[in-house]
Amino acid sequence: MTADTRWLDEDEQRTWRAFLTAQRLLFDRLERQLQRDAGLPHAYYEILVRLSEAPDRTLRMSQLADSSLSSRSRLSHAVARLEAAGWVRRRACAEDRRGAFAELTPDGMAKLEESAPGHVEAVRADLFDALDRDQQRVLRDISDTLIAHLSDTAAWPVESDTRADAG
Amino acid sequence: MTADTRWLDEDEQRTWRAFLTAQRLLFDRLERQLQRDAGLPHAYYEILVRLSEAPDRTLRMSQLADSSLSSRSRLSHAVARLEAAGWVRRRACAEDRRGAFAELTPDGMAKLEESAPGHVEAVRADLFDALDRDQQRVLRDISDTLIAHLSDTAAWPVESDTRADAG
DNA sequence: CCTATATAGTTGAACTCTAAGCTGTTGAGA
DNA sequence: TCTCAACAGCTTAGAGTTCAACTATATAGG
């Protein structure tokens, strides 16, 4: 593959590096805010959020993994820790005995309600306060475009797509 | 603090979640591409890139940390591994004996040249191929805005900034 | 000169993440 | 019914990151 690399031109290079830098500065910051104020990584916070929005504050592990963009493995570890903290409880699944439910406990809900204001404030201060309405609109547009693109596209080049010509 | 939380409205909420999702899909993917094809985390790849662009392919550890958006600690660990692999070499600093230089070795340069095409192709396929010229332009604009904003703003609320009014 | 403080970089422990493999369950087809 | 692939979730091992503490050197003030 990659007989001829489609290198980035000057302009694309700058765009890419700017995006990379902005993204890192922003998410490092939010990560640290949550870790400092709530003692939680953002991935764990998001698990609590998704559970809080689910019917009965309960989701199957797989659904929770999908909705929080976690791998199965990562979710297992995460829920183990959240369960030890008393914020989430695992329940057996009657219909499918392989399965398991994760349920947000009242303590978990309290934890979330206590952590949310600081986090939301950080998102607003670090992201929204910097962007005007137009920029926000396009950011959403770009994000939606990317989500569609990345959901459609296989994560890595499919073997059978290896052609002789550079197409 | 946060007497009154400035919650996100419906629209902002959607924008934020879309951005979060897009960003995660994209960077998880690039991370995996590099790990799979080059056996390197993106952070390590970036260290090689920065060194490759420096005069004499050499930088002080601190400069390298700053330019690659790494913490000092992370960089120490990273360079230790890169050095063990033979891709980077540490050199003493004569002017400031606390300091150290990191230098990209020929092997390191070769490693980078071997890894770059696949990575660049992934960036193009996953990001640029999805966005039209206008979106690319605004993405750069937004990124630059964010970088300026986040560089100006203290990472966390300064104590002395706690005022009685919501000002 | 001497002390205090700041800076450069490293280290170790605790934690998170990923990848691979494992257990047990389900469901389709022979 | 039996078999076997697919699936749900967990576990293990190894690697990366962070935080706090530490070493060593540099610099400023008295």
Q: What is the full per-residue pLDDT of chain A (167 aa) written as tens digits? A: 546 889 999 999 999 999 999 999 999 999 999 999 999 999 999 999 999 999 999 999 999 999 999 999 999 999 999 999 999 999 999 999 999 999 999 999 999 999 999 999 999 999 999 999 999 999 999 999 999 999 887 665 443 333 333 32
Q: Judge: A22–B117 Cβ closer than 8 Å, yes or no.
A: no
CATH no. for A25-154: 1.10.10.10
User: Can you give the distance from the CA of residue A43 to the C1' of nucleotide C7 in angstroms?
Assistant: 34
- Interchain CB distance below 8 Å, A136 and B8: no
pLDDT at A5: 86
pLDDT of residue A4: 84
If one compares B31 and A160, the residue with the highest pLDDT of the two is B31
Taking CA atoms, A54 is separated from A1, A59, A76, in Å, by 44, 7, 18
Domain boundaries of chain B, sorted by first residue: 12-154
Distance from CA of B103 to the nearest CA of A (A): 22
pLDDT band at B155 (very low <50, low <70, confident <90, very high): low
B59: β partners: B102
Query: What letter would DSSP give residue B131?
Result: S
List CB contacts (< 8 A) between A127 and chain B. Answer: 16, 19, 146
- Which of the four CATH numbers 1.10.10.10, 3.10.20.90, 1.10.1670.40, 3.30.1490.20 does domain B12-154 have? 1.10.10.10
Residue from the list A121, A130, A149 with its beta carbon closest to the beta carbon of B6: A121
Chain D bases closer than 7 angstroms to a protein Cβ? 7-12, 15-21, 24-27
Beta bridge partners of B100: B92
Question: What's the pLDDT score for residue B161?
Answer: 35
- What gap in Å lies between CA A110 and CA A68, rounded to an integer? 20
- φ/ψ region of B128 (left if φ > 0, alpha if ψ in -120 to 50, else beta) reads alpha
Is any atom of nucleic acid chain D found less than 7 Å from the CB of residue A58? no
B32 touches chain A (CB under 8 A): yes
The confidence score (pLDDT) of residue A160 equals: 37
